[in-house]
């Protein structure tokens, strides 16, 4: 097929003059200039494009032939600074009268500058290794024509091109400092989550997730950077799933985020995170009333690493509570025992009451708090009250208002189940628990508070129970609580 005739342009002329006729060399210079400009602009969207800029070989070859469509804004911006002229000036066709004798007459030497005409090699495309530096320094100019031809005839690549190719392979649009900053941002979310709650934090986490996905989809990362990018996306999606559960969103929402988080954690080789996500999937199914599926999700997570400290959460928060709801007393008791035994084998568990959303393992106090809920649904009120006595000090001193509310509601429900229940005391405990869970309301508090009211059904005529019903109405009327109740599948008899 015949090729289009070559139309000389300022671009092709200057590329030849600077020995950038190999697209790898040209892109190395283009990317260096792009990064320098990215550091100087306040436009973050433009900066992201500038840091990953490159020209495909087919387009570069067309430009060298003079077959030019005006480049996009970001490439024009870099070319303007690279050549110190506008794109219109750069790609104009040079009239024959302006062409000089320096243009290559021999096709075999096309793109090779003669030694006497070679400009100094630009500082910003210095070779990447000492060996290449020594090679370049051993010949006149960047490359003499006979050296370039000899390299080609021997079948080897231009050493500077090899350095450029290496750089192209290891170039990353996800700088380690940027990933570290996002990792700290996600940890900050974990640290303040129980104080602020899902409704006010979901937008921030979604922003981090979108930024990370933009990095993963919009550029290139070497294996280590890509692994860390995937791991952070998995954390962000896992947090979105946990927030969806706490906010009472449909179970399909949490399930979608969990699926993404599990797959990316698996790709990143982070089994601990994959197990954490399995626990969050189990939690969502539990609060959706799908107890058998909740147990199955937790069991699948445990199979990944049965002796891992992450298995503690899966055993007690996932399996024990779900099995208790299914009426499987022996199964629930068995996995609670396994959770406590596994806790004893991990001496470095967190002290006190660990955060519910922490990516780390459960503390012993957090494990016992979940055992309280499981035993409550097994109808073992005596064991519930004894367990609460063990952790009461930690719960009362904990900054976690949700833990105080949930344990308080469990205690109230346990007392209500006893013969000769003191309804006034129970409703007082329920009132106190609701007061502890109003600053940043979550779905689980609403669900358990309603369950307490439902179980007090035969005493609804009593003033204390009617007052508790009023507490529930007030709780759900708060702005954040209204959103949670509206999205919740937990009904209310009020």
pLDDT for the residue 153:
64
How does the average pLDDT of the chain come out, rounded?
82
pLDDT above 90 covers what percent of the chain?
36
Greatest mean pLDDT range, 321-335, 353-367, 438-452, 469-483: 321-335
148 has pLDDT over 70: no
Structure-token match 């006893």, residue found: 418
129 has pLDDT over 70: no
pLDDT for the residue 73:
82
CB 110 within 8 A of CB 8: no
For the chain, report the end-to-end CA distance as a whole number of angstroms. 81
Comparison of pLDDT for 484 and 118, the residue scoring more: 484
pLDDT for the residue 149:
60
3 has pLDDT over 60: no
pLDDT for the residue 1:
45
Lowest-confidence segment of 131-140, 313-322, 406-415, 485-494 by average pLDDT: 131-140
Q: How do residues 51-107 score in pLDDT, each as one tens digit?
A: 888 888 888 888 888 887 788 888 888 888 888 888 888 888 887 666 544 444 444
Average pLDDT for residues 400-422, to the nearest whole number?
Answer: 85
Q: How do residues 204-254 score in pLDDT, each as one tens digit?
A: 999 999 999 998 988 788 899 999 999 999 999 999 999 999 888 999 999
Average pLDDT for residues 305-325, to the nearest whole number?
Answer: 97
Distance CA 279, CA 301 (A): 7
pLDDT for the residue 7:
80
CB 43 within 8 A of CB 102: no
**Coil/strand/helix, residue 93:** strand
Q: How confident is the model at residue 142 (pLDDT cuts 50, 70, 90)?
A: very low
pLDDT for the residue 44:
79
pLDDT for the residue 197:
85
CB 365 within 8 A of CB 356: no
pLDDT for the residue 346:
95
**Coil/strand/helix, residue 447:** helix
CB 298 within 8 A of CB 314: yes
CB 213 within 8 A of CB 168: no
Tokens standing for 366? Answer: 């957090």
Count of helix runs (H) and strand runs (E) in the chain: 25, 0
Q: How many residues does the chain have?
A: 494
What single DSSP character describes residue 9? B
152 has pLDDT over 70: no
Distance CA 26, CA 301 (A): 50
pLDDT for the residue 150:
63
pLDDT for the residue 393:
76
3-state secondary structure the chain: CCCCCCCCEHHHHHHHHCCCCCHHHHHHHHHHHHHHHHCCCCCHHHHHHHHCCCCCHHHHHHHHHCCCCCCCHHHHHHHHHHHCCCHHHHCCECCHHHCCCCCCCCHHHCCCCCHHHCCCCCHHHCCCCHHHHHHHHCCCCCCCHHHHHHHHHHCCCCHHHHHHHHHHHHCCCCCHHHHHHHHHHHHHHHHHHHHHCHHHHHHHHHHHHHHHHHHHHHCCCCHHHHHHHHHHHHHHHHHHHHHHHHCCCCHHHHHHHHHHHHHHHHHCCCHHHHHHHHHHHHHHHHHCCCHHHHHHHHHHHHHHCCCCCHHHHHHHHHHHHHHHHCCCHHHHHHHHHHHHHHHHCCCCCCCCCCCCCCCCCCCHHHHHHHHHHHHHHCCCHHHHHHHHHHHHHHHHHCCCHHHHHHHHHHHHHHHHHCCCCCHHHHHHHHHHHHHHCCCCCCHHHHHHHHHHHHHCHHHCCCHHHHHHHHHHHHHHHCHHHHHHHHHCCCCCCC
Greatest mean pLDDT range, 183-197, 253-267, 467-481: 253-267
pLDDT above 70 covers what percent of the chain?
83
């Amino acid at each position: 097929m015949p090729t289009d005739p070559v139309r000389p342009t300022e671009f092709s002329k200057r590329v030849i003059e600077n020995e950038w006729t190999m697209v790898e060399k040209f892109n190395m210079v283009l990317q260096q200039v792009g990064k320098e400009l990215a550091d100087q602009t306040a436009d973050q969207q433009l900066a992201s494009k500038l840091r990953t800029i490159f020209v495909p070989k087919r387009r570069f070859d067309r430009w060298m032939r003079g077959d030019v469509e005006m480049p996009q804004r970001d490439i024009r911006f870099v070319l303007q600074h690279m050549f110190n002229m506008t794109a219109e000036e750069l790609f104009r066709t040079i009239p024959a009268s302006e062409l000089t004798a320096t243009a290559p007459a021999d096709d075999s030497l096309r793109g090779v500058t003669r030694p006497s005409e070679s400009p100094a090699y630009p500082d910003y495309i210095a070779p990447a290794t000492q060996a290449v530096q020594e090679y370049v320094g051993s010949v006149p100019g960047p490359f003499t024509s006979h050296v370039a031809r000899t390299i080609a005839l021997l079948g080897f690549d231009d050493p500077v091109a090899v350095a450029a190719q290496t750089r192209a392979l290891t170039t990353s649009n996800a700088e380690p400092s940027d990933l570290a900053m996002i990792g700290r941002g996600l940890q900050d979310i974990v640290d303040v989550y129980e104080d602020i709650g899902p409704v006010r934090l979901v937008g921030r986490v979604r922003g981090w997730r979108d930024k990370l996905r933009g990095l993963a989809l919009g550029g290139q990362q070497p294996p280590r950077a890509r692994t860390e990018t995937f791991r952070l996306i998995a954390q962000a999606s896992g947090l979105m799933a946990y927030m969806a559960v706490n906010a009472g969103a449909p179970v399909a929402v949490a399930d979608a985020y969990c699926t993404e988080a599990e797959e990316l954690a698996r790709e990143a080789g982070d089994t601990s995170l994959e197990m954490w996500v399995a626990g969050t999937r189990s939690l969502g199914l539990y609060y959706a009333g799908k107890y058998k599926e909740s147990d199955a999700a937790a069991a699948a997570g445990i199979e990944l690493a049965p002796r891992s400290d992450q298995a503690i959460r899966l055993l007690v928060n996932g399996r024990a509570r779900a099995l208790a709801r299914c009426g499987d007393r022996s199964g629930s008791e068995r996995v609670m025992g396994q959770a406590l035994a596994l806790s004893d084998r991990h001496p470095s568990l967190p002290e006190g009451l660990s955060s519910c959303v922490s990516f780390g393992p459960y503390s012993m106090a957090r494990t016992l708090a979940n055992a309280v809920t499981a035993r409550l649904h097994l109808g073992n009120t005596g064991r519930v009250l004894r367990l609460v006595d063990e952790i009461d000090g930690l719960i009362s001193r904990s900054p976690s208002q949700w833990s105080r509310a949930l344990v308080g509601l469990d205690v109230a429900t346990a007392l209500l189940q006893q013969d000769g229940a003191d309804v006034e005391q129970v409703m007082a405990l329920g009132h106190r628990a609701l007061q502890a869970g109003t600053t940043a309301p979550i779905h689980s508090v609403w669900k358990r508070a309603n369950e307490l009211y439902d179980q007090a059904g035969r005493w609804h005529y009593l003033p204390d129970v009617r007052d508790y019903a009023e507490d529930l109405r007030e709780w759900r009327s708060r702005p954040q609580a209204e959103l949670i109740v509206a999205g919740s599948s937990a009904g209310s008899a009020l």
